[in-house]
Structure 1
Amino acid sequence: MSPRTLLGPYRRLFAVPGASSFSLAAWLGRFPAPMLGLGAVLLVEGESGSYGLAGAVSGTLALAFAVAGPQWARVMDLRGQGVVLRVALTATLLTGTAFVAAVVGGAPRWSWFLLAAATGLSSPNIGSLVRARWSAVLDPAGRQTAYAFEAVVDEVVFVLGPPLVTLLATLIAPPVGFMTGIVLGVVGGWWLAAQRATEPPLHPVDPGAPKRRRSVLTPTLLVVVVTYMAVGTVFGAIDVVVVGFAEEEGAQAFSGLVLAVFALGSLFAGLVYGLARLPGTLVSRFVATAVAFGLAAQLLWGVGSLAVLVGCGFLAGLTIAPVLVSGTSLVESRVAQGVLTESLAWTITGLTLGVTAGSALAGAAVDAWGAEAAFAVPAGAAALAGVLALGGTALIAERRAPAELVEDRSTG
C-alpha cells in the first residue's frame, strides 16, 4: 500500500473548506499548554530555589485553567467562539504579564498565586474548540481520524514546547520562556477567532428546558473526566520530576528535550491510531487504552539515568494518544445537542485538575525524597488511571448511543 493511500484519511480531512487554517491556528494557540506550567516551574524555582513552591504555583495556574475552561466553552456554545476568544485572550496577555512581573519584581508570594490563578482563569481551552469544529463537519468515522490527528497535533506541541521553554528560560532568562508561551497562545487564538465561517452552530438554551448541567455531566463524561484526572496527574508530575532529575544529573537544560520524548512516542501512536480500524466498542477501546497507559508507566520505577529515562519515556509515551483519543471519541458519541464544546472542555478539565495535583505532589516529593524516588508519583497515578477506567465500565456500558453504533459499523 502506498503512503498516499495509507494517509488518505488524513488528506480527506483537509479537503474540508477552512480545515487547514483553523487546525493550524489551533495548533499555535495550544502552545501555552506545555509551556506555561513548565515555564512557571522554571521561573518560580529560579527566583525561590524551591521546587515545592514552584510546583504549587504551577498547579494553581493549572487548577484555575481547569475550572475556567468549561465556563468559557459554555459561553462559546451560546455566543460563538470569535467574540469570546478575543475577550479571554486579551485578559490572558494582561494577567500573564503581570504574573511574570510579580515574580521577577519580588512581590509578595501570595500575589504569585493570585496572578497565576488569574492567568489560568482567563485562558480558554483551544483544543476543545477545534475538536468542536471538526465534529460539526464530519461523520463519526471521520471524527476518529480528526480526533487522532488533533491528538498528534497536541503531541507536536508537547514535543516542541518543553525544549523551547527550557532553552529560552535557561539560555536567556526564565521570564522569556513563560512569556513566549503567552504570546504564541494569544496569536493563535486570535487567528482562530477570526475564522467565523467554520464555527460550530450556536445552540441557545431554551428557558423551559431541563437544567443544562444535567445534560452535560453524564455518567460517561464523569468516568472519562475522573480517569483523565489520573492521566493529568502523570503529566503534571512528569514536568516537575524530570526537571528535578535533570538538575540532579547536572543537565537541567536537557530537561525539555527529555520531556519531548514522551510526546514523541505519543505522536507516533496517535498517527497509527487515527488510521487503524479497531475492533470492539468505544467503551472497550477506552478501557483497554487506559489499562495499557497504566501498565506502560510502571517503567518509570526503573529510571536511574537520563539515558534510561529517554527510553522509558518513549515507550510510555506510545500509550498517551490512544487513551486521549478513545476517551474523547466516547464522550463525543454520547454528547447532548448544544453542549459539545463544553463537554469536550470538561475532559480537558479532568486532565488539568490532574496536572494541578501532579505538580504539587511531585514538587513536594522531589524536595522530600529526591527526584529519582519521586518518579513514584507519576507511576502510581498512571496505575490509578487504569483502575478507574476498569471500575467505571459498568456505568459507561449501560447503553450505546446511536453515534457509537454508527462508528462501530464504520470501523468493523
Structure 2
Amino acid sequence: MSPRTVLRPLLRPLLGPYARLFTVPGSAWFSLAGWVARLPLPMLGLGAVLLVEGESGSYALAGAVSGTLALAASVGGPQWSRVMDRRGQGTVLRVAMAAYLVTGLAFVAVVVADAPRWSWFLLAALTGASVPNIGALVRARWAALLEDAERRQTAFAFESVVDEVVFVVGPPLVTVLGTMIAPAAGFTTGIVLGTAGGLWLARQRDTEPVPVQAPAGGGSLRRAALGPAVLVVCAAYLGVGTVFGAMDVVVVGFAEAVGQPALAGLALALYAGGSLVAGLAYGVARLPGTLAARFVGTAVAFGVAAQGLWLVSSLPLLVGAGFLAGLAVAPVLVSGASLVESRVPRAALTEALSWTNTGLTLGVTAGSALAGAAVDAWGAQAAFAVPAVAAAAAGLIGLAGAPLLRRVPEPAARVDGPVGG
C-alpha cells in the first residue's frame, strides 16, 4: 500500500474545504496575485535595514528609517482601504502602485547617492504611506464572494497561512539579495514584486467587491470601521504583533548566547510551522459558540500558550515552547478577522480589516524595540519575558473587551447590513 493511499483519507477532511474554495471563479488568481503583492511586507523593513546600514554603516540609522517606513504604512494602509471601499479596488490600486513604485525607487536612489538624511526619512515615509493593505483587499474579495460564514472562515484561515508563507519566504530572500548581490537589491526586488502583484490584482475586476457610496458626511461608515469589535481586535492584535516582533529578536539573541546561532532559523521556522498547522485545522473546524466567544477563547489560549517561554533555558526547550506558542497564533488571527467581518458593513470592511493589520504592524515594531532593549539589559533568556507578557496582555484584552463584543450594532446603523453570521 502506497503512502498516498494511506494519507489520502486522512488529508481529505483537512484539505478538501480549501480545495473547494478555489471552485469559485477567479479565486485562485486573486489569491495568487495577493500572495505576490504581499511578499514585500517582510522584505521592505529588513531590506531598508540592509540598504541603509550597507550605505551608512549605522544600524541605529537603519532601524530609525525602517521604523519610519513601517509606521507610515500602518497609517496609510487604512486610508487607501477607505477609498477603495468607496471607489473600487481596481482604479485606486493602480494609483497606489504607481506611487509605491516611484517613491520606493526614489528612496533607493537617495540612499545610494548619499543624499541628505532628511530625504531618506521623507521618502521612507512616502513609500510606507503608498503601501495598501493587500491582505485586507484579498479578504474583502473572499467576503464578497462567499455567502456561507463557515466557508469565509476557511478562506480567512487560508489567507492566514499565506501570510505565514510570506514571512517564511520573504526574509531569507531579501537577506540573500541584500548581502550577496548589493545592499539595494533586496529592497528594490520587494518594490518590483509588490508593484507587479498589486497591478495584477487590480486587473481582476470581476472578483472585486462592488463599491458602496458613502452617505452624506461619511461619518457612519467611519464609525463602523472603528466600532467596538474592531477596536478590541486591534488592541489584542497589538499584543499579538508585539509577540511576533519580540520573538524574532529574542530567539536570535538566545541562539547566539548558547553558541548555536544557525539554529535560530530552525526555531523560528517551527514557531511559524505551528501557526501554519493550527491555521489549516482551525479553518475547517466547526466550533460551537458565537464569533465573539471564539475570538475571546482563542485570545486567552494565545496568552496561555506563550507562558511556556518563561521556562526556556535550552534550544530543545525553545523549540518545544515556540512550537506550542505558534499553535495558538493563527486561530486568534482568523477568529479576529471573522469577527470583524461579521460586525462591519461591506462599505467599510476593507478599511476595518486594514486597521486590524495596523494593530499587528505597530505591535511588531514595538516588540522588536522592546525585545532588543531587554536582550541588552537582561540577557536573551530573561528577555523571553517580553513575548510572554505581551501574549498575556493580548489574552487579557480579549477578556476585558468581551462585554463590548456582545454589543451587536443595530441594522439601521450598519448602513448596508452585516456581511457575516
Paired residues for 1:229-244 under 5 Å: 229-244=238-253
> What is the CA-CA distance between 1:142 and the residue it aligns to?
1.2
Work out whether 1:202 is the aligned partner of 2:222. no
Partners of 1:247 and 1:371 lie apart in 2 by 9
User: How many correspondences in the alignment?
Assistant: 407
Query: Which residue of the partner structure matches residue 25 of structure 1?
Result: 33
- Measured at CA, do residues 253 and 109 of structure 1 come closer, stay the same or move farther in structure 2, by a change above 3 Å? farther
CA RMSD of aligned residues (A): 2.8
Query: Which residue of the partner structure matches residue 356 of structure 2?
Result: 347
- Measured at CA, do residues 208 and 186 of structure 1 come closer, stay the same or move farther in structure 2, by a change above 3 Å? closer
> What is the CA-CA distance between 1:292 and the residue it aligns to?
1.7
- Measured at CA, do residues 104 and 263 of structure 1 come closer, stay the same or move farther in structure 2, by a change above 3 Å? farther
Work out whether 1:66 is the aligned partner of 2:71. no
Query: Which residue of the partner structure matches residue 313 of structure 1?
Result: 322
> What is the CA-CA distance between 1:22 and the residue it aligns to?
0.4
Work out whether 1:8 is the aligned partner of 2:16. yes
Query: Which residue of the partner structure matches residue 293 of structure 1?
Result: 302
Between 363-372 and 154-163, the greater mean CA deviation after superposition: 363-372
Partners of 2:232 and 2:302 lie apart in 1 by 16
Any conservation in 2 of the 1:61–1:119 contact (CA below 8 Å)? yes
Any conservation in 1 of the 2:343–2:408 contact (CA below 8 Å)? no
Instruction: Give the TM-score of the pair, scaled to structure 1.
Output: 0.89
Query: Which residue of the partner structure matches residue 410 of structure 1?
Result: none
> What is the CA-CA distance between 1:260 and the residue it aligns to?
3.3
Query: Which residue of the partner structure matches residue 108 of structure 2?
Result: 100
- Measured at CA, do residues 164 and 252 of structure 1 come closer, stay the same or move farther in structure 2, by a change above 3 Å? farther
> What is the CA-CA distance between 1:25 and the residue it aligns to?
0.6
Any conservation in 1 of the 2:225–2:352 contact (CA below 8 Å)? yes
Any conservation in 2 of the 1:234–1:378 contact (CA below 8 Å)? yes
Between 349-358 and 388-397, the greater mean CA deviation after superposition: 349-358
> What is the CA-CA distance between 1:369 and the residue it aligns to?
4.4
Paired residues for 1:388-399 under 5 Å: 388-399=397-408
Query: Which residue of the partner structure matches residue 218 of structure 1?
Result: 227
Query: Which residue of the partner structure matches residue 88 of structure 1?
Result: 96
Query: Which residue of the partner structure matches residue 265 of structure 1?
Result: 274
Any conservation in 2 of the 1:269–1:319 contact (CA below 8 Å)? yes
- Measured at CA, do residues 399 and 339 of structure 1 come closer, stay the same or move farther in structure 2, by a change above 3 Å? closer
> What is the CA-CA distance between 1:194 and the residue it aligns to?
0.8
Query: Which residue of the partner structure matches residue 130 of structure 1?
Result: 138
Partners of 1:360 and 1:374 lie apart in 2 by 12
Amino acid at match of 1:127: G
Residue deviations 1:125-178, cap 9 Å, x none?
A: 000000000001112121011111111111111222222223333444443222
- Measured at CA, do residues 83 and 244 of structure 1 come closer, stay the same or move farther in structure 2, by a change above 3 Å? farther
Any conservation in 1 of the 2:343–2:419 contact (CA below 8 Å)? no
Paired residues for 1:266-281 under 5 Å: 266-281=275-290
- Measured at CA, do residues 378 and 46 of structure 1 come closer, stay the same or move farther in structure 2, by a change above 3 Å? farther
- Measured at CA, do residues 134 and 399 of structure 1 come closer, stay the same or move farther in structure 2, by a change above 3 Å? same
- Measured at CA, do residues 385 and 30 of structure 1 come closer, stay the same or move farther in structure 2, by a change above 3 Å? same
Paired residues for 1:111-130 under 5 Å: 111-130=119-138
Paired residues for 1:44-63 under 5 Å: 44-46=52-54, 52-63=60-71
Partners of 1:109 and 1:368 lie apart in 2 by 30
Partners of 1:294 and 1:361 lie apart in 2 by 18
Any conservation in 1 of the 2:344–2:418 contact (CA below 8 Å)? no
Between 359-368 and 211-220, the greater mean CA deviation after superposition: 359-368
Any conservation in 1 of the 2:345–2:418 contact (CA below 8 Å)? no
Between 328-337 and 169-178, the greater mean CA deviation after superposition: 169-178
Any conservation in 2 of the 1:96–1:115 contact (CA below 8 Å)? yes
- Measured at CA, do residues 397 and 206 of structure 1 come closer, stay the same or move farther in structure 2, by a change above 3 Å? closer
Paired residues for 1:315-334 under 5 Å: 315-334=324-343
Please point out which of 189, 196, 210 is paired with 1:180.
189
Amino acid at match of 1:238: M
Any conservation in 1 of the 2:78–2:351 contact (CA below 8 Å)? yes
Between 191-200 and 113-122, the greater mean CA deviation after superposition: 113-122
Partners of 1:121 and 1:170 lie apart in 2 by 27
Between 136-145 and 49-58, the greater mean CA deviation after superposition: 49-58
- Measured at CA, do residues 406 and 208 of structure 1 come closer, stay the same or move farther in structure 2, by a change above 3 Å? closer
Between 301-310 and 212-221, the greater mean CA deviation after superposition: 301-310
- Measured at CA, do residues 238 and 113 of structure 1 come closer, stay the same or move farther in structure 2, by a change above 3 Å? farther
Amino acid at match of 2:303: G
> What is the CA-CA distance between 1:256 and the residue it aligns to?
5.1
Unaligned runs of 5+ in 2: 1-8, 412-416
Any conservation in 2 of the 1:167–1:253 contact (CA below 8 Å)? no
Any conservation in 2 of the 1:232–1:351 contact (CA below 8 Å)? yes
Partners of 2:410 and 2:63 lie apart in 1 by 40
> What is the CA-CA distance between 1:360 and the residue it aligns to?
2.9
Between 394-403 and 78-87, the greater mean CA deviation after superposition: 394-403
Query: Which residue of the partner structure matches residue 169 of structure 1?
Result: 178
Amino acid at match of 1:165: V
Between 122-131 and 236-245, the greater mean CA deviation after superposition: 236-245
Higher relative contact order (CA 8 A, sep 6+): 1
Amino acid at match of 1:388: I
Please point out which of 65, 70, 77 is paired with 2:85.
77
Amino acid at match of 1:275: V
Partners of 1:156 and 1:368 lie apart in 2 by 33
- Measured at CA, do residues 362 and 2 of structure 1 come closer, stay the same or move farther in structure 2, by a change above 3 Å? closer
Residue deviations 1:317-339, cap 9 Å, x none?
A: 11111000000000101112411
Query: Which residue of the partner structure matches residue 6 of structure 2?
Result: none
Any conservation in 1 of the 2:272–2:326 contact (CA below 8 Å)? yes
Partners of 1:197 and 1:63 lie apart in 2 by 33
| Identity rate, percent | 69
